[in-house]
Chains A and B, each alone.
Chain A
Amino acid sequence: MSQIEVPVGIVGVEVHSEQREVPDGTPPAWRENASLKQVGKPVPRIDGNEKVSGRARYTSDVVRPGMLHGKVLRSPHPHARIHRIDVSEALKMPGVKAALALPHLLGIADDGSGKTTQVQSVRYYGQPLAAVAAQTVEQAVAALSKIKVDYDVLPFVVDPTEARQPAAPKVFAQPVIARGSAGGGGSKDKLNQVGNVRGPKRSVPRGREVEKQATQVTQALLAGPQGVRATYKTQVQTHSALETHGVVAEWSRAGDELTVWASTQGIFSVRDELAEYLGIEQSKVRVITDYCGGGFGAKFGAGNYGVLAALLAKEAKAPVRLMLDRREEHLAVGNRPGSEQTVALAASTDGKLTAIEVKGFGFGGAGAGAGFAGPALSMYDCPAVYVEEFDVFTHSGPLAAFRAPGHPQGAFALEQAMDELAERLHLDPVALRDKNDTHPARREQRKRAATAFGWQNRTATGQGPRTGKLGEVRRGSGMAQGCWYHLVNVDSRAEVRIHRDGSVEVLTGVQDIGSGIRTPLAQVVAEELQIPIAKVKVTIGDTRLPPGPGSGGSVTTASITPAAREAAYAAKQALLKELQAVLGLDKVPELTGGAVVGLKAGKPTPPLPFDKACARMRRTEVLGSAVRELDYGATANGKRGNFLAQLGGVQFAEVEVSTLTGVVRVLRIVASHDCGRPVNPLLVENQIHGGIIQGLSYALFEERRLDPKTGRILNGNLEQYKIAGALDVPKIEVLLLEELRGRSSTDASGIGEPATVPTAAAIANAVYNAIGVRIRELPITPAKVLAALASAGK
């Protein structure tokens, strides 16, 4: 081990030097972005041309010789027992080459009844049962209707309030366990389960004792002197990536090796799930993702569709493409679970929080782990914090990880409660947070965003400007904040090859789900080797490459850019040693100003530009390889990451509410965020904009609706399931912090998730400020606004 000096602090506020113990061979720390040439610059995506020209190959674009088309048979009943699935008639249909029942079901909570029983138990409308591969999609669809399924149709419940009643039909007869999928999620084992209600899962901030905190919270809530208590509800949101889930699966001629092109955010998670499911070696499964049309948490693992495609391809001895349609997306491949949370806060009269209590229910359908505790546990410096969460099972499609799982829900409740507390205390909402939140980045973000927003001009509740012919349009402002975590997947490696002609390759098995990871990889390598970005060829998206992190949890940039930089550093050392030998230098030369400079017989050699230096190599390439090590100082770190460094994020919203129509329009969002060292501010801003729009869409429009009478989805499309469009977009101003923390050789963290956490809460607070009536339930539709106004007599 050796010591290095690293810069620490928020650039523009205060930056100082600290020492870190690091493995030998660690490159020296970079100073702030202003001192760098490639990193920290708003470089457009290096694969932009591919994406704008239609050349980028997505999974749905893959065509293989003799390829068949797969379709999935799904249950038309939300609850049933299957006795038999008979595919024999389907196999006789024109063009059909394979038909089979799903051997066992993925993505659902496990009730311990065994794989066979599990797959025979239908627990949601749209549950996959069987599949067909045919020469055309139409043939496959026609054949599905010939599959005979003997069902016992059973009573069901899709309404989460009804599901809590003791007499409600049970989704699971026995207590479940829910292992985290490749995309995270999962839930604690051995929780109590009564009927459809599982829990409580009791949580307190790290390092505190559950019982003590629970008692302290109860006492503080009784003691007051100030407090608020209210119940908030959030809806089920579906990921709605534009490219649906799907794969193309192809076996080798001998039938022992499988290649899968997958629309995924984790190629290795697809590989591992397929290998396990099919009982073959990981080395015999290759997963390729050139481009992926969005994932947002729902595209980890092979999925039921993926294993069905692989099995069909094996049976048909031909490649099979199986892409889901839009309706299947809403039904069966995950969602952000709904919630009902009661938040109670207590505070001293001067606004110091004395207790935070959140108790409530998560509605993840036939999946467990629908929590919302994150913001309450992590955001405020409060001596007593206690969260109690129950899963409520319903006969509907199971949840999946979705951009900051639990956090937008949690923030929607907690941050409105904070707003309510501020009003009770006659305190400014920003001032209340300043009193209770010492997170250095968020403190700075509140300051900068409040100034940029013009928060000091905010009017009292209901007193904002009025427009419209009748003065019916009210304007209001609100703010909210969020948290996420500096997460790292140390199971990440990158290779850098320097070729004799001075061109450079970086290879690693990450995948681009849209955030654009190729570009930061090129930037960090170009920075290290002092070459133009155009000289760096990035190859990703293939499990034949060194393992890369899955693109979830906002880990990608934080995990893989240090490995890429360190691989480039190692390749550079190899090149310089080679030059010492070839040129007969006194010692290993240096790369400086884009040229190699050394000493020969005590005299400086003329600067040799990088490409000319490479031309002197005796071999065709030099190679550097680096694994993502633990954060500097060996910060306590599990395989999946650590929670020691929290990310912030503060958003201010201005809205207009029509008291005549109930329509809410968001006029403006000012968002201040941090992600360690921003490697590419253009891409970071892209992520923040996208997170805000998803948050806005969640706040105002999106809601998966199920028919309580039939258990079927009512809006399994993009017409009645409305997502924000170009007409809904407000002005957005992003204030990005550069926060150096001396944690890795690039010091980057993620941004995809924190960007969407506070938006819905900020909008809800702004709506309250506009109309003086609080809407505690998402989405904030015109009907809810009008009903709230009417019940308040306004």
Chain B
Amino acid sequence: MKQPISLIVNGERYDTLCQPNLTLLEVLRENLQLTGTKHGCELGECGACAVLLDGEPVLSCLVLAMECAGQQITTVEGLARGAELHPLQAAFADHGAAQCGYCTPGILLTAKALLERNPCPSRSEVREALSGNLCRCTGYLQILDAVDAAAQVLREEQR
């Protein structure tokens, strides 16, 4: 039986009906049409579906949508600041950190959580934080460079 569910995604409230066994990934993509969050493996192995739940990165393929009611969900669609890209997004575009781009949303959100927790991460801390996000196109180095560059921009904003 479908049940009503209310989700707060990127600050907006969405009311929808869904089966209680649906994952957050499925509800975001299929019910709310927020397709920026990607399917990669649906087994919690690739990181493509990472979103933030109250600021913490989670794999949306391993979380039931029902569990997320009332929590703040952030997806890639909620990263930009109005018309302006988030510094992470801008840095990813500038550094060639997105090639096919399919893993990019999950990596952006994982990196955002890292930088909120640790505004000045070392290279090895960035690697560690992103170690659950697989990318098959890049050599990861552009991704690491982009996170460094964005961290710097964010630190300057804080001053």
Interface residues of A (CB under 8 A from B): 44-45, 48-58, 60-61, 63, 138, 240-244, 291-294, 296, 323, 325-326, 512-516, 682-683, 685-686, 688-690, 692-694, 717-719, 723-727, 729, 732
Contact = CB atoms under 8 A, between A and B. Distances in A.
B39 A49 contact: no
Contact of B41 (A53, A512, A689, A717): A717
A61 B35 contact: yes
A693 B93 contact: no
Contacts of B90: 52
Given A718-B134, A723-B136, A686 B39 contact: no
Given A293-B100, A513-B100, A690-B137, A326 B42 contact: yes
Contacts of A718: 40-41, 43, 45-46, 134
Given A51-B101, A54-B76, A45 B93 contact: yes
A293 B101 contact: yes
Contacts of A513: 100
B135 interface: yes
Nearest to A42: B96
A52 B98 contact: yes
A291 B141 contact: no
Contacts of A294: 100, 102, 136-137
B131 interface: yes
Contact of A686 (B77, B93, B99): B99
Contact of B48 (A63, A242, A292, A732): A242
B104 A514 contact: no
A49 B85 CA distance: 8
Contacts of B77: 53-54
Given A44-B94, A514-B100, A726-B130, A244 B39 contact: yes
21 contacts: A45-B93, A48-B93, A48-B94, A52-B98, A53-B85, A63-B30, A243-B102, A294-B137, A326-B42, A326-B43, A513-B100, A516-B99, A683-B96, A686-B139, A690-B138, A690-B139, A719-B43, A724-B140, A726-B133, A726-B140, A729-B144
Contacts of B27: none
Contacts of B137: 242, 294, 514, 686, 690
Pick from A241, A326, A726 the residue with the most CB of B within 10 Å: A726
B128 A690 contact: no
B138 to A, nearest CB: 5
B113 interface: no
B33 interface: yes
A292 B102 CA distance: 8
Given A54-B37, A61-B35, A719-B45, A732 B89 contact: no
B136 A694 contact: yes
A683 B76 CA distance: 24
Contact of A725 (B19, B34, B76, B131): B131
A690 B98 CA distance: 11
B50 interface: no
B72 interface: no
Contact of A52 (B30, B101, B132): B101
Contacts of A683: 96
A690 B141 CA distance: 10
B36 interface: yes
Contact of A55 (B36, B96, B142): B36
By DSSP majority rule, is chain B's interface helix, strand, loop, or mixed? loop
Interface in B35-66: 35-43, 45-46, 48
A772 B108 CA distance: 42
Given A48-B98, A60-B38, A717-B43, A241 B93 contact: no
Pick from B92, B139, B140 the residue with the most CB of A within 10 Å: B139
Nearest to A724: B140
B92 A52 contact: yes
Contacts of B34: 54
Contacts of B37: 54
Given A52-B108, A54-B35, A293-B102, 14 more contacts: A48-B98, A51-B92, A52-B76, A52-B85, A52-B88, A53-B89, A54-B37, A55-B36, A242-B46, A242-B102, A242-B136, A294-B137, A326-B46, A726-B144
Nearest to B146: A52
A101 to B, nearest CB: 27
Nearest to A513: B100
Contact of A293 (B38, B75, B89): B38
A80 to B, nearest CB: 28
Contacts of B92: 48, 51-52
A42 to B, nearest CB: 8
Nearest to B139: A689
A538 to B, nearest CB: 16
Nearest to A293: B102
Nearest to B126: A726
A375 B30 CA distance: 47
A515 B76 CA distance: 22
A692 B88 CA distance: 25
Contacts of A58: 35, 38, 102
Contacts of A690: 99, 136-139
Contacts of B132: 725
